[in-house]
Structure 1
Amino acid sequence: MKLPHDWFHADSEDKEMYGKELNLEMLSGHFLFSKNIEVYAHRNDATDDILCRHIDAEDLYTVVHLTWSMRPEIDNKHPTVEFHGSYDEFLQYNSKFFN
């Protein structure tokens, strides 16, 4: 799928790096904890946002704002979920806030 101009598809190194940080930051009880997801894309600026694709759902994506704390967060509200929905809804969300 075509991504907005400020996003890039995650290659295998990106998936590993961002996925490792996401898993490190999440505590039990986080919205995405134990969900079957993969890093699909990352934003090309200083937002630290990643787009995760839900493997067990046909059209479900979540934008997560990583903190890059390199450790588990202090509560299960972090890393912050910025968006959750279909790919078309993601495109609408992105154009509303970032274009």
Structure 2
Amino acid sequence: MNEMKDTSRVAGLGDDWCDMTEDCDLDHTALSRELRIEVHPDHPFFGAALEVIAHRYSNDDVLCRHLDTPARYSIIHLTWSKREEIGSCPTIDADGEWSHIVAYEDGVDAALSAAEALEQDGRRTPMGPAGTSSRPLVVEAVHAWPENPAIPPGRSSRRE
């Protein structure tokens, strides 16, 4: 069930996202629970009131709205370790206003389209049965929220 209704809060992000108000095959309560488990005391979002509003079908990304700053959204990549993480995990791929999230998703779409064109030309190894290729796609992370300098600039390479 990979189709979102046009009335979805995240319909503008494309078919790879499931709004948490929509039914799908995933236990939506598990996403919020895992996010709370993984965010550790040294993580930039430790103690932040986050609401998971959507998840990506193709990987472990969740889209969160900051309850204390409703205009702020973040895309966070969960590890599903079922334990508190260390270091920069879970990673923050995008952080900003809605327009920043849309811009990040446009970058992901452009990278996927470019990879597909290279595969068709024989200049990139196609994805294998496990859904991974020989080289990861790299998409610049978007960290546009000025009040959180603790988030390091980064690159995301999980998009396939």
Same fold (TM over 0.5): yes
Counterparts of 2:38 and 2:53 in 1: how far apart (Å)? 18
Q: Pick the aligned partner of 1:89 from 97, 100, 111.
A: 100
Question: 1:46-65 maps to which residues of 2 (within 5 A)?
Answer: 47-65=59-77
> Which aligned runs of 4 or more in structure 1 are off by greater than 3 angstroms?
none
Deviations 1:20-53 (A, max 9, x none): 10111111021111001100110111x2000000
TM-score (norm 1): 0.87
- Is it true that 1:29 corresponds to 2:6 in the alignment? no
Q: For the aligned residues, what is the CA RMSD? A: 1.6
Deviations 1:36-71 (A, max 9, x none): 1100110111x2000000111131000000000111
Which ranges of structure 1 fall in alignment gaps of 5 or more residues? none
User: What is the match of residue 39 of structure 1?
Assistant: 52
TM-score (norm 2): 0.56
Which structure's CA Rg is the greater one?
2
> Kindly, what percent of the aligned residue pairs are identical?
33
Partner AA of 1:9 in structure 2: D
Partner AA of 2:30 in structure 1: M
Q: How many residues align?
A: 96
Counterparts of 2:80 and 2:109 in 1: how far apart (Å)? 21
Q: Pick the aligned partner of 1:10 from 8, 20, 25.
A: 20
Deviations 1:49-94 (A, max 9, x none): 000001111310000000001111133x110011100111101110
CA contact (8 A) 1:41 1:50 kept: yes
Secondary structure in 2 aligned to 1:51? strand
User: What is the match of residue 116 of structure 2?
Assistant: none
Which has a greater percent of strand?
1
Counterparts of 1:4 and 1:52 in 2: how far apart (Å)? 13
